[in-house]
Amino acid sequence: MHTSRVIHLIAHRGNARECPENTLPAFTSALQLGVRFLELDVHLSADAVPVVIHDHLLARTTGQPGSVFELNAAQLVTIEAGEAPRFGEQFAGTRIPLLTDVLELLKGRPEVTIFVEIKRASLAQFGHDQVVSQVLGAIGPWRAQCVVISFDLAAIYRARQLGGVAIGWVLSEYDNHSHLKCDALRPEYLFCDHLQLGGTGALWRGPWKWAVYEVESMPLALQLAGRGVGYVETMAVREMSEAMRTASL
């Protein structure tokens, strides 16, 4: 399918196919591959510091028992997150990063944007006001290069109220009820799994930009672009970035 639309690539948890997800090596690798949009996940530590990790339970990516919520930030940053079951000793010494650690990668890179996803488990643990205010505080001087996103509509609404920051809603359902909420909220971005979209017609039009995730092939990216999608999110960062360069999109 021919399209004149420009498709932007978002590195889902960094270059998570070739590096441990949500770690500094993953984000650095994505930037080295020329990706200008990164996505990461945040939870709050026991002392309410935003740390970059997808699951609040530590086991999957660190092999350690317990939860992010049970340890303070100083303890969490000592925990290895090199995903040994996937990579062996290749990333030994890689630790759970603080959100502020990852944001330091923006220095000297004004063209880079980071999508910061607030996870629901932290909202349930600490409450919306504390989580959103702590994340906004960490973003601080990088606010113009960050977009706060979440499945939780109240969280991104609160982020807009508190910080005047760009927001993105991650849709659980692509249906009329969600469409009405989008029209009321008017977020800068809408995120959705491509499997949720169905059909072939144009996606909802509005002030938002569409970012569709779990995209790992150029034919799918082109099909989505034809429906109005400007951003595709993937863990297959090297393959997709090379395919996009080849296609000269």
Percentage of the chain lying above the pLDDT 90 cut: 93
Question: Per-residue pLDDT tens for 139-152?
Answer: 999 999 999 999 99
pLDDT-based confidence at residue 3 (cuts at 50, 70, 90): very low
Mean pLDDT of 219-243: 95
> What's the pTM value of the predicted model, to 2 decimals?
0.96
Least confident of 4-13, 130-139, 221-230: 4-13
Q: What is the pLDDT of residue 200?
A: 85
Query: pLDDT at residue 21 above 70?
Result: yes
Question: Per-residue pLDDT tens for 98-126?
Answer: 999 999 999 999 999 999 999 999 999 99
Q: Copy the structure tokens of residue 246.
A: 């080849």
pLDDT-based confidence at residue 163 (cuts at 50, 70, 90): confident
Nearest to 113 by CA among 152, 74, 139: 139
- Helices 153-163 and 176-185: angle between axes, nearest 10 degrees: 10
Query: pLDDT at residue 59 above 80?
Result: yes
Q: Which residues contact 124 (CB under 8 A, 6 or more apart)?
A: none
Nearest to 83 by CA among 69, 94, 97: 94
Q: What is the pLDDT of residue 1?
A: 36
* CA–CA separation, 77 and 45 (whole Å): 10
pLDDT-based confidence at residue 51 (cuts at 50, 70, 90): very high
Nearest to 215 by CA among 193, 199, 230, 198: 193
Burial 92-113 (b: 16+ CB within 10 A, else e): eebbbbbbbbbbebbeeeeebb
* CA–CA separation, 67 and 58 (whole Å): 6
Domain 8-247 falls under CATH 3.40.190.10: no
- Contact (Cβ atoms closer than 8 angstroms) between residue 102 and residue 27: yes
For residue 141, the one-letter residue type is P
**For residue 170, what are the β-bridge partners?**
191
CA-to-CA dists, residue 68 to 34, 35, 57, 165, angstroms? 31, 29, 6, 26
pLDDT-based confidence at residue 248 (cuts at 50, 70, 90): low
Q: What are the domain boundaries of the chain?
A: 8-247
- Contact (Cβ atoms closer than 8 angstroms) between residue 131 and residue 118: yes
Measured over the CA atoms of residue 51, residue 56, residue 62 and residue 65, the dihedral's sign is positive
pLDDT-based confidence at residue 198 (cuts at 50, 70, 90): confident
Query: pLDDT at residue 2 above 50?
Result: no
DSSP state of 67: B
